[in-house]
Chains A and B, each alone.
Chain A
């Protein structure tokens, strides 16, 4: 591959940067600006002063769900190539159905275990 093959990528990068720049410049040039002072810079100009940190701690449930998601998500990786070669394998009577059924069986046992353990219940 030569560098010229990457020209579309460069154009893409240039477009992205250009668009962002154009929008920002446009808003600076044509947008209306009020007077700048401390009160104006608050999130809400009136009402109760907002309190607390901007970043709140996530519940640990998110982590659990995310972990379980990753584990089951990755299995698709093995299913896609399997689908692609399925017909060829069957036509040549190569073993293809049994192994994947066993694989899915293990996954189902895992899912069953997970459900019974209550890992997927949000309210506990």
Chain B
């Protein structure tokens, strides 16, 4: 339907943003209705479960209608906006749509119907123009839908709407309830996909997999600030809840004597900075140790798949990178093929790209194990949440000098804790302890004279 020119413009559709990406969440609109846009100029930010991207305008014209609203999750091919290339004629042909949009009913005629034009004092005070009213329709759910959502503890945002402007109708939510009933093992997966979304490795205090309260259930008091969810926040939340619900987490800790690693790094770090242009981090050493341990313990480099366990050949290490409004976990691919310097460079590259919002889909896909580094902020213990569908995650804590008893004498050593959460469906405590002690041994026996290259 939406591939035909509507009104006086041509629809722009959500492009395919990468392999295996089937949908995207609308971020901020960079252009507003009425703005002139040049060909290739960025129109809107799109967040997938992997990356952020900007959709460029396929042609020059004027933005006449914004169809997709911020926060909406839409399939590839869905209409984003309408651009008038001038003179009301359709611009270059656009790709045929893969997603049916409701007919282009204009909002002004929608909420009421009459065989005659309304008189002046009948006109309702809703926002003028199709966009305002459509946005209201899309973002406000009907009382019936809200009631049903509350009764079933459903977050309305996760349902694909079939009503006008993508509104979730009563029929949509009843169908969703029905679908959930017939597939009770997969709660809240309507939007997220099962591969590595952004993740927050620090575990919330409660272990209870409580369902997210529907909006409006929590009372807002005077003076409170209500913060709408960003697409990233929503995805983190959905992913964390899913991981906690599906994977029974067990967390163990080990103390590691990092004195030799500290010495090794101290020996080369100045030269490294000069040669490479960035600092050598402890994290690179730890990841190298993790990679070695994964190589020897392939049972940890594995994925739970309901009826089976898949041991991954590739060792791809996800590294959690904190951002202003969330977290993302880019992946060092084939980390077992890199030396310490190579790992350091990969961390550096991915972190920079993440902060500059330049990560590609491939940068965040395919992780087999995740390392998180809250220690830089001084933490000494964590209970990280596993990035699904991996089966373990490691947090490196702060390195601190402590008095340690060695052979009945007291020495000052650089000590660090490692926190390992594992999926108890895949691994037992013993396997986790063995893996962790291998990482520990590798780090403690590190030769300070060895090269990072």
A pairs with B: no
- B-side residues, CB < 8 A to A, are none
